[in-house]
Structures are given as structure tokens and as C-alpha cells.
A = this chain, B = another copy of it.
Amino acid sequence: MELWFTESHTPNVKFSIRVDRQLYSSQSEFQRIDVFESPEFGRILVLDGYLMMTEKDEFIYHEMITHVPMAVHPNVKSVLVIGAGDGGVIRELTRYPEIEHIDMVEIDEEVVEVSKKYLPQTACAFDDPRLHIFYEDGLKYIRSAHDKYDLIIVDSTDPFGPGEGLFTREFYGNCYKALHEDGILINQHESPFYEEDAMACQRAHKRIVESFPLSRVYQVHIPTYPSGHWLFGFSSKKYHPLKDLDEARWNARGLKCRYYTTTLHRGSFYVPAYVEELLEDVE
């Protein structure tokens, strides 16, 4: 028997992963949740038919969304994470002893429960005493937060379905208000390659630059995401992602990573000409 999970990256492009078996499938209050076991990628998490993470390449996404701001901001004590139900961002954040408080706002409790049961590789730090989980809409949560966080990480799904509100002007403006005066916002910023993704990427950038004085994107290779070329947004009230990168300080921590290095950190901000143009058009 052959069993394949297939995702359409565009109506004209399909990516298929051979699957050994389906470990979990349900319709939560917010979305369909599936977990599969696959020979190439280990366990994979699928929400509403879109591949969210695989055990083989999740380290790339989670290291890059976390360590880039942590190597720039000199004193992160309080962090807000929106989304991140699989736990990967929490795992990386809890490697930093100076972080005192992590609020995580995930709309769908079932994603966390499923991850605890089926994805122990990422869902391994949910019992950290510094973590406080709120099961609610990040868009609503952020409205009442003022001058509260050093770092906000938006580990959202795509800009349609439950994650749609996390790509709005209102949301980015509220993130700005929720951050301290030297705070940093990191968001998953879609891909610049396929046309529809590129438009989403450009739209998000346009809205962020209206809220933050400094806004850059950085790129990563994520083999299981559409085109493999993925962007994160780095938006900041004060710190520059390269000028304020303290390589010696971060390297002195001795944190072992498989993707992130402080050298790669620099290179990830050097994006292709066509991506520069895509973003400059709305700056």
C-alpha cells in the first residue's frame, strides 16, 4: 500500500510526502488537525491540510524565529508568543535562563494537547515554570497588553483561516503598544516566491512598516514549506538586527544549534534582489 500526504503549494504545484500511518485526526473548534508518521520527515503536523511542521526540519524554523532576536536584544526578560501550539518556540526560548516570563497565547488548546501526546520533540518544555499559556485569540489578547514585553514572537499559521487576524494593521499596531520601548517583534512572514505568497508577504510588510520604525525581513531554507524559501519579519523600536547583533555575547552562551550561527544570522538578512524590490515597493 502507498499512502501520500499531498499539499498544493499553488494550484499548479504539489508537494507529497509518503506516510506510514495517520496517528491522529480530528476537527477541533477552529481547524482540522492531523498528525502523520512519515519515513522521510518523522512525525508531521498538518492543520487544515497545510503542513505546519515536520520533525526533520522544524529545527530550522524554530531556531531562526527565536535566536535571531535573542542575539540582538541585550536583556530579554518578558516574552509573548502567539501561536506556537507545537511547542517548538517554547523549547528554544526556555534555553535562555535570563528569560523570566513567557506568555503564550494559542487559540486552539487541542493543538497543544495533540502536540504533547504525539510531538514530544517540540512539545518538551510546556511544563517550564516560566510559561503561562492562555487559550484565546491572539488578536484579542494583544489589545489589552501595554508596555509589557521585550520580545513578541508571532508563530502564526498562514494569513487565512484562524491566523488571518495576525496579519492585520490593527494587530501590528497593538504589538507595538505591547512592547517595551526597546522591544522586538518577530513574525513568520510567508514566502516571496509564488505570486500569491509574495503578495501576502508584501501586504504584511506594508502593514508592519506603518507601525514600526525599523522593519526588515530575514530568510531561511525550510524544505517542506512552499518554495523552500521562507521569510521572517524583524521589527523593532530600537535595536538593529545587524548593528546590534552581539556575536561574542551570544556565542559565549555555548548554545548548540543545528541551523543558527551568528554568522548565518548576518547572511539571512541579505535577501535576493527581487525580494528587496518586493518590499521596497511598499516602504
User: A270 and B264: CB pair below 8 A?
Assistant: yes
User: A264 and B272: CB pair below 8 A?
Assistant: yes
A49 within 8 Å of B by Cβ?
no
Which segment of A72-80, A92-100, A136-144, A254-262 sits at the interface? A254-262
* CA A26 to CA B201, docked complex, whole Å: 41
Q: Mark A80-109, 1 if CB is under 8 A from B, else 0.
A: 000000000000000000000000000000
A 242-283 contacts with B by CB, 8 A: 257-261, 263-264, 266-274, 276
A234 to chain B, nearest CB (A): 15
Q: Mark A124-144, 1 if CB is under 8 A from B, else 0.
A: 000000000000000000000
Given A17-B13, A228-B228, A229-B221; A264-B273 close (CB under 8 Å): yes
Q: How many copies does the complex hold?
A: 2
User: A266 and B274: CB pair below 8 A?
Assistant: no
Give chain A's interface residue range (CB within 8 Å of chain B): 35 or more
User: B259 and A270: CB pair below 8 A?
Assistant: no
* CA A254 to CA B247, docked complex, whole Å: 34
Which segment of A4-12, A149-157, A203-211 sits at the interface? A4-12
Q: A228: which B residues are within 8 A, CB to CB?
A: 221, 223, 227-229
9 sampled A-B residue pairs with Cβ under 8 A: A12-B18, A12-B38, A12-B39, A13-B16, A40-B194, A193-B221, A221-B229, A259-B272, A266-B266
